[in-house]
Amino acid sequence: GAVVSQHPSWVICKSGTSVKIECRSLDFQATTMFWYRQFPKQSLMLMATSNEGSKATYEQGVEKDKFLINHASLTLSTLTVTSAHPEDSSFYICSAPPETRGGYEQYFGPGTRLTVT
Amino acid sequence: KQEVTQIPAALSVPEGENLVLNCSFTDSAIYNLQWFRQDPGKGLTSLLLIQSSQREQTSGRLNASLDKSSGRSTLYIAASQPGDSATYLCAVETSGSRLTFGEGTQLTVNP
């Protein structure tokens, strides 16, 4: 099956710094990727839709200037958490929909755990 | 706005028991419904996907059903094992490949 990777798998950073998380589709092209956030003991919440070659679409309540998304190629989307604060500590997961529609599960990355101290 | 609810929030059963996890959604205009498993601190493992035109899917000891008109799905786990202990999430896919997740059911199977 198709594989999506994320890097890093975990990161610790100091408050006020920026952190970049990469999401790669390893054996397929992804014109669209999704970024989710999961707080402890909670479910996944969609943050934004990353579109190759165009601006990302953010969900209501997600600050686009804080969570910068770049989808510069068909295999790579990046999420940059700018001026990170402890409340940004969370598990970030990306996904990519199948290349063809019709009954195929989305491919999820393994997630990135961000801790802001 | 699509909302997904899972009941129960937590479940503890003895090994060998058959169990049912429930998922309901408010908007029946879905492309498909997926059940996932998530182990603590880990990503998602896809278990079953049911297309909107299907009624059920089976994989090993797992069986998922979908009643789109009533906005309900169930995940049936037969002969539960301690290794089944995890959080189970259901998610519905709507337009634009967007997934809306439920809060999950935390399952503990006791030896």
Which of B41, B51, B98 is nearest residue A46 as measured by Cβ atoms?
Answer: B98
Determine what percent of chain A falls in helix, strand and coil, rounding each to the nearest 5. 5, 50, 45
Asked if A99 reaches chain B (Cβ–Cβ under 8 Å), the answer is no
Rounded Cα distance, A96 and A108, in Å: 7
Asked if A111 reaches chain B (Cβ–Cβ under 8 Å), the answer is yes
Which of A106, A108, A113 is nearest residue B97 as measured by Cβ atoms?
Answer: A106
- Is A43 within 8 Å of B103 when comparing Cβ atoms? yes
Question: What six digits make up the tokens of B63?
Answer: 């069986």
- What length does chain B have? 111
Q: What is the pLDDT of residues A52-65, one digit of tens each?
A: 888 999 999 999 99
> Which chain B residues have a beta carbon less than 8 Å from that of A106?
34, 46, 93, 97, 99
Q: Would you place residue A104 in the very low, low, confident or very high pLDDT band (cuts 50, 70, 90)?
A: low
3-state secondary structure A41-56: CCCEEEEEEEECCCCC
Question: What six digits make up the tokens of B94?
Answer: 């709507």
Q: What is the pLDDT of residues B17-39, one digit of tens each?
A: 999 999 999 999 999 999 999 99
